[in-house]
Structure 1
Amino acid sequence: MASHRVMKIYTVSGCFPLIILLMSTMVIQSTQERTDSIFHYTYCAIHQNIQTDEEMGIADLLSSIAGDIQLRQLDLRSLFPAERFPIQIRFNLKNFDISSDAEYSIAIHEFGVIYEGSCALSGERIVVNDGNGSQRTSASLRPDDTGALFMNFIDIGISLTGQESIVGRSLVIHGNGQSDLEVKYNSTRLACCIIGESDGRSW
């Protein structure tokens, strides 16, 4: 923990609270800047997948999922250029359909494209190496009984920096292909978002 010089203040009692407030604000800002500088932040705002029925001339939302996904990673490449630090992922999602036996997963897709509300152009799934010799293309999501998913977890298989950075790619929430709309459009892509750079203020 950084130490802060304590100065003896000679002033009238009426100014003392104001000076203490100013000093506290400076310390908080300094600590915030120091913390933010060692993290790389991204933000991903969820878009519901829209599919168009050309014959009927109507657009269908494949889900009502809403919210955002945030990621951050220690950025100490200048000190440890060969090290890959784990990513902390924060889910803030709601409106999952819990009325059926639906199962959900999330995957990184190669392209960061959402065209006219559709997640169809996000490309194929990216294969992620877990670091223990295994590979995966998706991870399970388990919303609670209210259809919400608020959780943090650590992932060691992906990065926000370097040649394997996932910044600019998309995250896609998949269903299990059992709902009427998933069957109708032959798509399990319920919602998606593009991973973009962030200043970390929303973390």
Structure 2
Amino acid sequence: MDVHLTLVLCSFVYLVRSAVDVSLGSCKIKEEFAVCNLQPSSDKPSNINGTIYFMQKLVPGECKEDFLSIQVYIDNLPLDDGNDKHGLHVHEFGDSRNGCGSMGPHYNPRGSPHGKPWNLPNARHVGDFGNVRQNPKTGKVSVRLVDYLARLTGPESIIGRGIVLHAKEDDLGVNKNDTGSITTGNAGARLACCVIARSSPIYEDKFTLYK
């Protein structure tokens, strides 16, 4: 290759890399982390406990947030109630003074109907995380969820709001003629809950694949 052309190409690559470095260096968005320590509702005593971790990283090489990673670890779910799937949602309030019922309705700042986590923003709540499946032999949940809509920053941040684990499977709002389906997914009683709190960085090895 011509020496002059090589120098020109090298200079171009350097300028591009420098521009990227400057752009990322001036990025005002930071990685964010949160944690939620699950406890049974005070009006439904049980041994349910667990931890839910949240990680909001940046898209590699870009100054914008990636999807929200959610790692769910739950122990001691009941084995004899016939429910292997449980609705898991963000609720409006981080308030458990009167049990999980005081966390209010699903977090729904856009006034949308309840739906599937993969629905468009006008067809799901920001707090619609769908279902988690327990191991039918151990009563444990260990699963990673990825959500494209919920965020740890911005005007619709879920920080300070509640997470509620429900007794039954969320029907994902499929029955449009059923008020329960389009508001709560008919997910039943609130078994356990916690408040989403901002945290220090969480090691990525906390976030495992589906089990």
TM bucket (normalised to shorter chain) is 0.5 to 0.7
Find the aligned partners of 2:202 and 2:118 in 1 and give their Cα distance: 29
User: 2:108 matched to 1:123?
Assistant: no
Q: CA offset at residue 132 of structure 1?
A: 3.2
Q: CA offset at residue 115 of structure 1?
A: 0.9
1:105 corresponds in structure 2 to 87
Q: CA offset at residue 96 of structure 1?
A: 0.8
1:150 corresponds in structure 2 to 142
Does the CA-based 8 Å contact 2:55-2:202 persist in structure 1?
no
Q: CA offset at residue 158 of structure 1?
A: 0.5
Find the aligned partners of 1:201 and 1:126 in 2 and give their Cα distance: 25
User: 2:124 matched to 1:135?
Assistant: yes
- 2:70 partner SS: strand
- The equivalent position to 1:40 in structure 2, one of 26, 32, 37, is 32
Find the aligned partners of 1:199 and 1:75 in 2 and give their Cα distance: 16
TM superposition outliers: structure 1 runs of 4+ over 6 Å: none
Q: Which amino acid aligns with 2:195?
A: I
Q: Which amino acid aligns with 2:88?
A: I
**Structure 1 residues 87-126: Cα deviation after superposition (integer angstroms, max 9, x where no partner):** 000111111112221241111110001216x112111112
User: 2:64 matched to 1:64?
Assistant: no
**Structure 1 residues 3-28: Cα deviation after superposition (integer angstroms, max 9, x where no partner):** xxxxxxxxxxxxxxxxxxxxxxxxxx
Q: CA offset at residue 75 of structure 1?
A: 4.7
Find the aligned partners of 2:201 and 2:163 in 1 and give their Cα distance: 19
Structure 2 unaligned residues grouped into runs of 5+: 1-28, 109-113, 170-187, 207-211
Does the CA-based 8 Å contact 2:132-2:143 persist in structure 1?
no
Find the aligned partners of 2:66 and 2:79 in 1 and give their Cα distance: 35
2:200 corresponds in structure 1 to 199
Q: Which amino acid aligns with 2:51?
A: D
1:5 corresponds in structure 2 to none
Q: CA offset at residue 41 of structure 1?
A: 0.4
Find the aligned partners of 2:31 and 2:165 in 1 and give their Cα distance: 26
With the length of structure 1 as denominator, give the TM-score of the two structures: 0.62
Structure 1 unaligned residues grouped into runs of 5+: 1-36, 52-59, 178-186
Q: Which amino acid aligns with 1:70?
A: Y
- 2:103 partner SS: coil
Structure with greater proportional helix content: 2
Find the aligned partners of 2:101 and 2:38 in 1 and give their Cα distance: 14
Q: Which amino acid aligns with 1:139?
A: G
Aligned length, in residue pairs: 144
Find the aligned partners of 2:97 and 2:161 in 1 and give their Cα distance: 14
Does the CA-based 8 Å contact 1:131-1:156 persist in structure 2?
no
- 1:191 partner SS: strand
1:92 corresponds in structure 2 to 73
Over the residues paired in the alignment, what is the CA RMSD in angstroms? 2.6
Q: CA offset at residue 64 of structure 1?
A: 2.3
Q: CA offset at residue 190 of structure 1?
A: 0.5
